[in-house]
Structure 1
Amino acid sequence: MDDLTRTYGDLVQLLAGLRVKAGGLERVTKVRTASTASEIGANGINDGHAIAPDLMLEEFLDGDEVDIDCIFCAGECTFCYVVDNGPTVEPYFTETGGTLPSFLPEEKVAGLKKMAQDAVAAIGFTHGVFHVEGKFTSRGPRLIEVNARMGAGPIRTIHRHVSGVDLAVEQLLLTVGIPSRPSIKSTGMSVGFASIGAPRSGVVDSIEFLDKFRDISGVVQLSALVHDGEAVIGPEDGMPSWIAELVVSLSDAYKAKALAQKLSSEIAADCSYRI
């Protein structure tokens, strides 16, 4: 009970220093230190005035986390791909990257696809692009959430490189009443991608260090997610800020994954010197 009371107190203090931004909550103080802790509560707002502060506890799911991207047209699923997710940053479950096509066994991929399609249909959707998140647990496929939209970040890019399907175009077709029947063609390419988090808290003085990575063979996208002089949060202080987004495309899936992971580590290390 003492642990629960202490945890509750810590949570109340944390929530007191949050503000609403772009429909979500962020800390008022970007770099939290002993000297700034007192100003957090003073500058925070009562988030209950802006959003519903209801809290739902969810069961922890073990196993392999994935995204399942689907297109539905007239109640029929016309496109469905499973994207592997890399290990998340705990305890925030922050995404770090992934691979496409999936490395999971075919039976697991099939089970995850069925789960995603059943979930979309159960909600009542018949048309649209959907980004479903789930895990293949020790008890089989389990749903995390259904996003009634195209996946964010590099999702559009990775599917264009692997299957030749542009999810944004398919959504536009559906929007104006044109059936989505995507022509799925194997490009022979695989992708590894990374969402690179700040290695520590501070202010990034310059993002020029990213330039040397852009011309590496296989790199098809490297986007900075911060600007010169922007404050970032490292994992020791909270949910890490993303500093860059990387996509690698190669014919060998294992090499694409390995290169994405290698460059992600190097970019994070270089960023550390800029903070």
Structure 2
Amino acid sequence: MVVENWVEGTGRLFPKGIVDLGHEYTFISRNMDHYSSPETNEHHPVLKYARNVLSFETNDLPSLTEFLKRQHEILKFDGVITICDYYVETAAAIADALDLPQAYSKNVAIARRKHLVRQALDNAGIPNPKHAIAKSLDEAKTAAADIGYPLIAKPSDLGSSAFVRLVQNEQELTEACEPILGNTRNFRDQERDPVVILEEYLQGQEVSVECCSFDGKTNFIGITDKSLTGDPYFIEDGHMFPADLSDQTAEQLKEFTKDVLAAIGYENGVTHTEVKLTENGPRLIEVNPRPAGNYIVELIEHVTGIDLMKCHIDLALGHAPDLQKYPRAQSAAIKFVVPQKAGQLVDIKGYDSLEKNNAIARYKFVKPDGHALSAPIDNACYVGHVVTTDPTGKNSRAFAEDAVSQLELVVEEQ
């Protein structure tokens, strides 16, 4: 049973991944239109590959659980799963109710709420940046004065870098807090706790540590680098696996991440843990209790042969994940194209150069036929991306950046 899905990124890889492993799945959603494109007649992979498609209110857990209990009697599910952050707790609760295996930890609710993770690290004595939780603008102003500017303002329970912002002063703090405090429902129309987390702004390189925990043991997969754009927002516009780090730094990150996961009691599941490398050592940004998004799982498979999507699926079926490495490329990278402004995309100049580039494993872009571009404030604004590999070294990021530099977006303001 697949409960909802991401629309892009891993949301496109995941459904076919299930079928390629020889499984069948039933997909359930509260809004099928969420998985359709008004610009094409393309069937989203999650619908295309599904054996059964059910429409039901997935935001009403008690009713959904009773409905799926009845469906389970007919369809005999072997597991319940999602890769969409907003339905991780739902999938875990349904698996419990149906007495099925888990792809998640018992403490997944803590991992999904950034302020609870901060508290767990404090309790375990793991270094945190200065931080505070605010439930009103007045509380935020008081906390910000204590932490000091610049600082980061972000919600506790959203994904895709939504409403995460660098704040330089009280006016910017007011602007950052307004959408976090004012929106009592998330992008999937779920009720949320509108609290603001304020955190000390940390200087240093940002990376993510990919792990897979099973049977109480956390297995280290590797480290992915990250590039950001869109100041004062934090839009992820590129990744490379593995990150170009010294062995000493990589080992430090590995041990730090294992300590973080132990502190929140995360003993089962694939995790994507974002960390900042500061002059005082690693500091946690957040833990994500699912495979990495933004096609990072694809980069990892290009390099190691490990399919973290398959691991996620295996865990949901109660199977031990296959973490045997089969070395392939030395590095793989992805570069996203981020528009400079909202508007209508009418052309992509230099597009033909992608086909001639031997370093590119694949690429994908929206059609430049008046496609509406979102304002560049989070990861939902991407125009497209290129994936590159380097068989002999760690130059794949440079390859990807070079490929994208040859493109020019022609955008008409709306």
TM exceeding 0.5: yes
Q: Give the equivalent residue in structure 1 for 2:218.
A: 77
Q: Give the equivalent residue in structure 1 for 2:193.
A: 52
Q: Give the equivalent residue in structure 2 for 1:66.
A: 207
Give the secondary-structure state (helix, strand or coil) at the position aligned to 1:183: coil
Are 1:250 and 2:398 an aligned pair? Answer: no
Residue 119 to residue 209, structure 1, CA distance change in 2 (3 Å): same
Structure 2 counterpart of 1:22, from 172, 184, 187: 187
Q: In structure 1, what residue type is equivalent to 2:365?
A: A
Determine if contact 1:154/1:245 at 8 Å carries over to the other structure.
no
Q: Give the equivalent residue in structure 2 for 1:35.
A: none
Per-residue deviation, 1:23: 3.7
CA distance in 1: counterparts of 2:230 and 2:254, whole angstroms:
25
Q: Give the equivalent residue in structure 2 for 1:135.
A: 276
**Farther-moved stretch of structure 1 (85-94 vs 110-119):** 85-94
Q: In structure 2, what residue type is equivalent to 1:190?
A: S
CA distance in 1: counterparts of 2:174 and 2:266, whole angstroms:
41
Per-residue deviation, 1:192: 2.2
Count of residue correspondences = 246
Within a 5 Å distance, the mapping from 1:191-210 to structure 2 comes to 191-205=332-346, 210=351
Are 1:108 and 2:256 an aligned pair? Answer: no
CA distance in 1: counterparts of 2:235 and 2:372, whole angstroms:
18
Give ranges in structure 2 of 5+ residues lacking alignment.
1-140, 142-167
Residue 52 to residue 16, structure 1, CA distance change in 2 (3 Å): closer
Q: Give the equivalent residue in structure 1 for 2:304.
A: 163
Within a 5 Å distance, the mapping from 1:5-20 to structure 2 comes to 6-7=171-172, 10-11=175-176
CA offsets, 1:91-129, max 9 Å, x none?
Answer: 111111122222111111111111112212221122211
Within a 5 Å distance, the mapping from 1:34-53 to structure 2 comes to 50-53=191-194
Determine if contact 2:180/2:195 at 8 Å carries over to the other structure.
no
Per-residue deviation, 1:211: 5.6
Residue 206 to residue 108, structure 1, CA distance change in 2 (3 Å): same
Are 1:180 and 2:321 an aligned pair? Answer: yes
CA distance in 2: counterparts of 1:91 and 1:252, whole angstroms:
36
Q: Give the equivalent residue in structure 2 for 1:262.
A: 402
Determine if contact 1:205/1:274 at 8 Å carries over to the other structure.
yes
Determine if contact 2:225/2:241 at 8 Å carries over to the other structure.
yes
Per-residue deviation, 1:50: 4.7
Determine if contact 1:78/1:181 at 8 Å carries over to the other structure.
no
Residue 210 to residue 50, structure 1, CA distance change in 2 (3 Å): farther
RMSD over equivalenced CA pairs, Å: 3.1
CA distance in 2: counterparts of 1:101 and 1:55, whole angstroms:
33
Q: In structure 1, what residue type is equivalent to 2:401?
A: Q
Give ranges in structure 1 of 5+ residues lacking alignment.
25-48
Are 1:92 and 2:233 an aligned pair? Answer: yes
Per-residue deviation, 1:7: 3.8
Q: Give the equivalent residue in structure 1 for 2:410.
A: 272
Aligned-residue sequence identity (percent) comes to 26
Q: In structure 1, what residue type is equivalent to 2:410?
A: S
Per-residue deviation, 1:197: 0.5
Residue 160 to residue 8, structure 1, CA distance change in 2 (3 Å): closer
Q: Under a length normalisation based on structure 1, what TM-score does the superposition of the two structures give?
A: 0.77
Residue 105 to residue 172, structure 1, CA distance change in 2 (3 Å): same
CA distance in 2: counterparts of 1:17 and 1:202, whole angstroms:
26
Per-residue deviation, 1:169: 0.7
CA distance in 2: counterparts of 1:120 and 1:253, whole angstroms:
31
Give the secondary-structure state (helix, strand or coil) at the position aligned to 1:110: helix
Per-residue deviation, 1:254: 4.1
Q: In structure 2, what residue type is equivalent to 1:249?
A: T
CA distance in 1: counterparts of 2:242 and 2:366, whole angstroms:
25
Per-residue deviation, 1:12: 7.1
Determine if contact 1:84/1:102 at 8 Å carries over to the other structure.
yes
Give the secondary-structure state (helix, strand or coil) at the position aligned to 1:159: helix
CA distance in 2: counterparts of 1:153 and 1:159, whole angstroms:
12
Residue 180 to residue 8, structure 1, CA distance change in 2 (3 Å): closer
Residue 257 to residue 133, structure 1, CA distance change in 2 (3 Å): same
Residue 183 to residue 262, structure 1, CA distance change in 2 (3 Å): same
Determine if contact 2:208/2:275 at 8 Å carries over to the other structure.
yes
Give the secondary-structure state (helix, strand or coil) at the position aligned to 1:52: coil
